[in-house]
Amino acid sequence: MTAIIELRDIALKIAQEAGDLLLNRPDIFDLSEKSGALDFATQMDKASENLITELIREIRPNDSILGEEGANKTGKSEFTWVIDPIDGTVNYLYGVPGWCVSIAIKQGDIVVAGVVHAPTVGKTWSAVLDHGAECNGSIIKCNEPIPLSKALIGTGFSYDLQSRVVQGEIFNQLITRIRDFRRLGACAVDICMVASGILDAYYEVGVYEWDFAAAGLIARESGAKFLAVPAIPSGSQHFVLVAGPSLYGELGQEMISDGRWIKAI
């Protein structure tokens, strides 16, 4: 386990270097379209991923890498680094706080360490499997118990405009039954907010492994329940749900039994 803690510490340093790079925000952005006009990457997404992958290759040359912007590498070791160089690119483009750098480390198929660094909100979350979760070096715990009627819930929406029709119906189904919604704009930060007790729950359809890999471990290590299931029909996109155990039970039963939640992409 000492080796995993050392990997977490390496990820912390790399994420902070990437965050420092990104804080030097350019005046003009080059945008490259991905799945659609609303889903894009900037030159800074690519610069951040290049920095992260170069540091990993220098320090851990035998490890595999899975990056959102395509900087993938198959290594000889049992470890894979799962990278989102900027989660919340739209926030970053507009100058809205809350974007982050997310780095997870998998041993085989299991995430064993994770770091989410959000410099504009002054928070860095991290976790090591079976060793708890931290924010800025202090132990964190999710809120528990929280009834649905008192829950402050975060969510996100698909880049596909047609999918938002169903997502809007789901939103309307919940809005009269909870305390309120918050829309922060970066999946990894939203999940970590649940881990820190800033939000009570978070759900979203249409996110990728690099969006939730690190944050999902952080949430579980905070005592929260975390679910990520492949969405239909796309196996690469996922439905995610995170909440304290009692609220998770109440939300999860409804969301999973209603197929629209998983199909709304």
Token readout for 72 is: 């993938």
Q: How far is CA 141 from the centre of its chain?
A: 17
Token readout for 178 is: 């909870």
CA gyration radius, the chain: 17
- Using alpha carbons, select from 196, 25, 179, 181 the residue that is nearest to residue 97: 25
pLDDT score of 72: 85
The answer to whether 13 touches 6, Cβ cutoff 8 Å, is no
pLDDT in tens, 4-52: 999 999 999 999 999 999 999 988 898 786 655 555 688 999 999 999 9
Domains in the chain, start-ordered, CATH in brackets?
2-139 (3.30.540.10), 148-263 (3.40.190.80)
pLDDT in tens, 101-153: 999 999 999 999 999 999 999 999 999 999 999 999 999 999 999 999 999 99
Count the helix, strand and coil residues of the chain and give each as a percent rounded to the nearest 5: 40, 30, 30
Task: Report the mean per-residue pLDDT for the chain.
Answer: 91
Query: CA angle, 120 as apex, 115 and 248 as ends, to 5°?
Result: 55
Tell me if the pTM is above 0.85: yes
Q: Which residue has the tokens 């197929």?
A: 259
Query: CA angle, 165 as apex, 160 and 169 as ends, to 5°?
Result: 135
Give me the mean pLDDT over the 240-260 stretch: 84
d(C-alpha 83, C-alpha 101), whole Å: 8
